[in-house]
Amino acid sequence: MNTTVITEAKIIKNTLISDLKQLTKMGLSLSVVFSSVAGYFLAVDVVHYPTVFLLALGGYFMVGASNAFNQVVEKEPDALMKRTKNRPLPTGRMSINFAMTIAILLTVFGIAILYSINPKTALFGAISIFLYTSVYTPLKPVTPLSVFVGAIPGAIPFMLGWVAATNHFGIEAGMLFMIQFFWQFPHFWSIGWLQFEEYKKAGFNMLPMNAKDKDAVKQIIFYTSIMILVSIIPVLKLSGAFYILPITAIIVAILGFIMLYFAFKLHKSEENVDARKLMLSSVLYITMVQIVYVVDKFFH
């Protein structure tokens, strides 16, 4: 009898942990934390590890809160899509009240932790949660322009690290913001291409002009080109204390051209297989660029 009760308790506990991971989108949240920490390393000469810990924890809570609020709002559309129908809210494994409680607690603790670093970091964290949950999420069923709005909170983490390190939002933080801002269009539109039919079922408009065609890919090519240009601007030493060596600019440009190559391939084929390659190359790009920038800093 006792063994059965213990086993059941274990299952409930494991299910709850798994559901909380899904509610906060653990993988995505950790990638955001990675961006913030990279931004922090770019700004400092001496690493203060307690600040890095607070930034990582506060950043995770901030993104986790945004994702939790998003899933509360999108419970019904999520139930319609294969990719999301097994999330804790559509399946009924978790109640809306419980999810809202988690989201609110993560918001409060996330902003408080970021505030303990400095007020500007907390302010940008709060702006990110507000835009993601109160503007981007409600706009998704209304207009493809929702992607532009969503790109703002999505671009905050990289610059958040710089602000956490310096308590200052200047040209350097602005540059980091721009790099991640323009990157999001090819990244999200490649996902929008792959999930087009699923999104349509849920009533979401996630491609430019809400059409899966060559015009959408032209937009992807355009924004990828802008992204490449913005990401090598620091080599010109026009972005304050944030600058990169010529060799770094070449590496970053090559990573961008890999994305551009798959964008042109998608324009030619209009096949999901090329959209997937573009999406994967975009993940490789943003991860490697942040690492390359940080490595570059040690050679100045």
pLDDT digits (tens, 9 = 90+) for 149-158: 999 999 999 9
Would the pLDDT of 268 be above 90?
yes
Confidence of residue 280 (pLDDT cuts 50, 70, 90): very high
What percent of the chain is helix, strand and coil (3-state, nearest 5)? 80, 0, 20
Q: What percent of the chain has pLDDT over 90?
A: 91
The pLDDT value recorded for residue 298 is 86
Q: Count of CB atoms within 10 A of residue 96's CB?
A: 12
The pLDDT value recorded for residue 3 is 66
The C-alpha atoms of residue 86 and residue 82 are separated, in whole angstroms, by: 8
Structure-block tokens of residue 111: 């902003």
The pLDDT value recorded for residue 5 is 61
The C-alpha atoms of residue 176 and residue 162 are separated, in whole angstroms, by: 8
The C-alpha atoms of residue 36 and residue 9 are separated, in whole angstroms, by: 36
Confidence of residue 8 (pLDDT cuts 50, 70, 90): low
Instruction: Evaluate whether 112 touches 123 at the Cβ level (below 8 Å).
Output: no
Q: Are residues 204 and 91 part of one domain?
A: no
Query: Considering 167, 196, 219, which residue would you say is the last residue of a domain?
Result: 167
Considering the entire predicted model, what is its pTM? 0.93
Q: Are residues 20 and 87 part of one domain?
A: yes
Q: Are residues 87 and 128 part of one domain?
A: yes
Would the pLDDT of 218 be above 90?
yes
The pLDDT value recorded for residue 6 is 67
Q: What is the CATH number of the domain that holds 41?
A: 1.10.357.140
Structure-block tokens of residue 153: 């909170």
Instruction: Identify the domain containing residue 213 by its residue range.
Output: 170-300
Q: Are residues 175 and 163 part of one domain?
A: no
Q: Are residues 146 and 77 part of one domain?
A: yes
The pLDDT value recorded for residue 284 is 97
